[in-house]
Structure 1
Amino acid sequence: MTPLFTRLRPLSRHYATAAAATAPVGPSRLVYGTRVALALVTVGGLSFFGGAYTLKQFIPGSGPIDTELLHLPGSPADTASVLASAAVIAASPHYRKLKADDKWVEADDVYSHLSADARKTKLLSGTLWGHRKVSANKVFFSVDGKESISFLVLGTALCGHPNVVHGGVLATVLDEALGRLAIRQFPDGGAVTARLEVKYRAPTRAAHGIWNRDAYVVVTTRVAELAERKCKVVGEIRDKEGKLLVQSEALFVVPKGWKPRPLGEH
């Protein structure tokens, strides 16, 4: 009986001869090898960055740490950073949608009533404003004055854990957004925070490098209850994809005997 492998030998020699005839020779072999090497490098690179990006989505505080020095407040570099962040928001679909909606009116500048020196004494317009901090803050109010939507770019200088915005900063952002809406409900704008509740639902990632180059958050607020001297406002923070990050509820009151300065001065 003829062994099975003996019968297969002519067939294997046929394929070996055909492969040798089609294999690149001379300079073509170098080109072929270069193409294979480039293909492997490309696949490896895509796998690395894809894996890193996927890892970042599931592990809070992951990704490269931004160690860039802060620009001097008011310097050309700082101004350029602020303008770049404003451009990111202006190009977003959500912002353009509100801009075209008659129900919403954009505030030209929520700090326009403050002088340059006065701005420096405030948190979001001074201490926390600028490169790698709060570098954009565009605010819309509903026509009836009962709702607001704010777009903010929060940078890596505001982080607690790497690339995750500090919870205290988020509470400050919410307190100001909620309070801004509340004081508009009273003639003299003389309301102060009596209670602020904050629930953190997911990490808020800072705008950073290639991972979150165009990142921004959307802060929405709504008047829930209104009385003569009290106003309850609810709000939330979401990322640009709509993921819920923080929920909040606050009570603002007008203290008895309170004689606030005119609204445009505080």
Structure 2
Amino acid sequence: MTIFRVFNRFFLLPTAGITFGFITFAKAWPDDSTALTLKDSALQTAKHNSRYEPLSPIIQRQDILDKISKLPLYEKLKKNPHLDHTVQSENIPTGHRPYHVGQGQLFGPKKLEIDPVIFRDEINKSLVVFYHLGSDLSNENNKIHKGILSLLLDEGLCYCGFPCLPNKRGVTAQLTLDFKKDIPSDTTVVLRAKVNQLKGRKCIINGTLEAIPRKNLFQYICGMEPKHGDIYVTAKCILVEPKWFKYFSWLPMF
């Protein structure tokens, strides 16, 4: 009887209480109605009923968006019927955006100046993302902080790998970066990522941050389009899904 009381007092009741509280009060995202976001005041989009409204072009660099839309790489990706074309904010509920680094603290004039444009290839497990890095993300030498680049690569490579995991969620076990060249401020860059290895709850993603592809003299004369720009950073991410993540699929957590 004594053993049962000890088990009940120190294990069963605390476990039941924590579990009940977690299930009762856990919420997937902050409440949209109380969140202060970049969409407040006059910065409203045309859609008001969707929980996943894209950011308004009003608060982005429209000139950069126009330049990207005219790039041969962008046009090629957009014409590919097998690619899913989105922007980052469409994948994040509005109430959560102020707490998301890339959509809150680092988004805005002279920072991440556009809503990152994403092309995902689910068949080949790869993606391409366009970013524009403003001057406030640079160091004293007017080059983009390596910490910012690390964040973008970690986020981009994980986003590429998540759909391959059993429960579509995971954590970065290891991120290896090789910085090749500094990136000047006020620069548009391309992130490329591809899942190269997949085994159960673990996948390995390789990626790069590149300059916008530019024609050299030979390509210009021959009318050829370059496939890649100069590489600024190469990256390798080992993404794993902890065993207990499967229980999150029972709750509307993410």
Under TM normalisation by the shorter chain, which class is it? 0.5 to 0.7
1:244 is aligned, of 221, 224, 231, to 231
1:181 is aligned, of 147, 155, 160, to 160
Tell me the residue number matched to 2:26: none
Tell me the residue number matched to 1:234: 206
- Counterpart Cα distance in 2 of 1:86 and 1:262: 39
Amino acid at match of 1:233: I
User: Which structure 2 residue ranges, 5 or more long, are not aligned?
Assistant: 1-36, 44-55, 214-228
Deviations 1:43-97 (A, max 9, x none): xxxxxxxxxxxxxxxxxxxxxxxxxxxxx95576993444333222212221111
2:110 is aligned, of 129, 132, 148, to 132
SS at match of 1:217: strand
Deviations 1:113-150 (A, max 9, x none): 43322101001111111111112210101140511000
Tell me the percent identity. 24
Amino acid at match of 2:123: D
Amino acid at match of 1:179: C
CA RMSD of aligned residues (A): 2.5
Using the TM superposition, give the Cα deviation of residue 261 of structure 1 relative to its aligned residue in structure 2, in angstroms: 5.9
Tell me the residue number matched to 1:122: 100
Amino acid at match of 1:247: T
- Counterpart Cα distance in 2 of 1:239 and 1:169: 16
Contact 1:106 1:139 in 2 (8 A): yes
Tell me the residue number matched to 2:88: 110
Deviations 1:144-197 (A, max 9, x none): 051100011111111123321100000000001100011111242121100001
- Counterpart Cα distance in 2 of 1:78 and 1:140: 19
- Counterpart Cα distance in 1 of 2:212 and 2:97: 27
Amino acid at match of 1:216: T
- Counterpart Cα distance in 2 of 1:197 and 1:86: 30
Please say if 1:260 is aligned against 2:248.
Answer: yes
- Counterpart Cα distance in 1 of 2:167 and 2:133: 31
- Counterpart Cα distance in 2 of 1:188 and 1:161: 43
SS at match of 1:134: coil
- Give the direction of change, closer, same or farther, for the CA distance of 1:263–1:177 in structure 2 (3 Å limit): farther
In the comparison of the two structures, how many residue pairs are matched?
187
- Counterpart Cα distance in 2 of 1:116 and 1:130: 16
Larger radius of gyration: 1
SS at match of 1:124: coil
Tell me the residue number matched to 1:4: none
User: Which structure 1 residue ranges, 5 or more long, are not aligned?
Assistant: 1-71, 208-214
